[in-house]
Amino acid sequence: MDAAVSRDDSSLHRSTSTDDSSPALFTHELLVIPIPKRLRYHEGKSFHFGLLLNMSLGFASTVTVANLYYSQPLLINLAGAFDVSYSKVSEVPTLLQAGYAVGVVFISPLGDLVRRRQLILLCLFMSTALTVGLSVTNSFIAFEVLSFLVGATSIITTVMQPLAADLAPPHRRATAISVVISGLLLGVLLARVLSGILGQFSTWRSAYYFGVGAQSLALVWLYLIIPDYPAKNAGTELTYWRILWTMAKFAVTEPALIQPCLLNFATSAGFTSFWVTLTFLLGGPIYNYSTLDIGLFGLVGMLGVLTGPLMGRLIDALYPWYSTLLALVFLLLFNVVQMAAGGLSIAAVIVVAFALNLFRQLLQSSLATTVLSIEVEARGRLNALNVLSVFLGQVMGTAVGSQIYLQHGWRACAALSVALSGAQLVVLFVRGPHCERYTWVGWEGGRRAFRRRRGRGGGEGEGRDSEETPREERDSEEPTERGKEGGEEWGRRSEGGDRGWRGTGRAKAEGKAGERFRQCR
């Protein structure tokens, strides 16, 4: 959507012949567990990013995000098991979400500082161990403390989205990101359906036993498949405190980030409001559905989520601004359908539930692609802020949507979603599809919607807007010293498709965008 100061990350995804005789930079996890030899990083070595690795990241997203939602259908069971009031047990989902917010802000940005394979495996191990505690404890206080810690460590999805963006070829980047996001959204829906069924026909502990088993499987599988890479900013002056400081600066100085965050906030609020109040609508006097029937509506949402990779291919073909526009138009349309017929026809509710999941995923993948194209070296921090905006939207949608429904009914609640969709279109049109990185308001670079494909022979078809060098990554550069411990020294001038390896040392970025970026860093 915007021109960005960005370093070429093509070396991460090119499949090349390598000399594995060179010593690996790291041979063990946490100095103890050996890294499989085929996954160890050697200078000059690249790993192939294929469907299996991409689907593995999506699977891990599903089983870890599910930790945040097992408790929601089980609150009555938990209240009885621990002999506490409903108001007291309702603190559990709040603590899970609060822990997740803390993890997103303070743990996931470490992906810009440390080796991501180790960060992912460590967080997954900790969340698995803590879930074991949830499944066996008899103390409600311990259950609350463990819930907060589980939320804080269930953040590997926010680490894996930038990792997928780094490893995937540029012309398939949106597809790779959408697979990880599909896994995230699937985990939300799957956890609610499974825990509801297990809670009704078994004990509440069964849901957490399932969570332990699923995470253990993901932990072993990721250990066997995720390649090891050096820290992205090795050899630089970046520290943990500077990471937090630059996140704060990005949040107020990056229009290319702020616009997607506002859109994600509003979409998440409307989407969460729909699903929270859907329980009241279906269980109320209009439809009188049972709890199990209401829970099965999650299956309708899953069908929409599973189309995510197809939506990613669409984003790869378009500039993200246009796929965002497409998603917003359809979200507005189906929110209008819900406002008009949600309380009159169950068919309308089913269609809307499917469509909202489908186009919300298209929107979220488009915005993630935009955010992760702003600056390669800061992808972890940028993604953390983007995910935080989604979380805040969920909080707002749950609180405001419930109050509006209880006071004014289902139609007023649907009208809130319509208003939010309309406001998003206004925010989108404030910045056009080809604006420079630091342009707050305007329409620059024409109206071109489709990316041009790069000619293989470098002749006809080769140009500035090739599939391999989308506009988001071609206007300027930020070559960076990886350092001896960091592995490869790489950089590129992407202008006109010209690529070349550069020497070591930090080079100055060109133009206004480069100057602003150095100030942020």
Query: In terms of C-beta distances under 8 Å and separation of at least 24 residues, what long-range contacts does 409-415 make, across chains too?
Result: 409/343, 410/277, 410/280, 410/281, 410/286, 410/342, 410/343, 411/339, 411/342, 411/343, 413/273, 413/274, 413/277, 414/274, 414/335, 414/338, 414/339, 414/342, 415/339
Q: What is the pTM (predicted TM-score) of this model?
A: 0.77
Q: What are phi and psi of 5, to 5 degrees?
A: -80, 110
Across residues 122-150, what is the average pLDDT? 95
For 233-282, write each residue's pLDDT tens digit.
777 888 899 999 999 999 999 999 999 999 999 999 999 888 878 877 88
Instruction: For 169-226, write each residue's pLDDT tens digit.
Output: 888 888 888 899 889 988 988 888 888 888 878 889 999 999 999 999 999 999 999 9
Q: What is the mean pLDDT of the chain?
A: 79
Residue 1 in this model has a pLDDT that exceeds 80: no
What is 12-238's CATH superfamily? MFS general substrate transporter like domains (1.20.1250.20)
Same fold, 12-238 and 240-445+504-521: yes
Amino acid sitting at position 489:
E
Q: Give me the residue spans of the domains in the chain.
A: 12-238, 240-445+504-521
449 confidence band (pLDDT: 50, 70, 90) = low
CA-to-CA dists, residue 125 to 10, 61, 190, 203, 213, angstroms: 30, 14, 21, 25, 12
Domain 240-445+504-521 in this protein, CATH class: mainly alpha
State residue 294's pLDDT score. 74
Whether residue 520 has pLDDT greater than 50: no
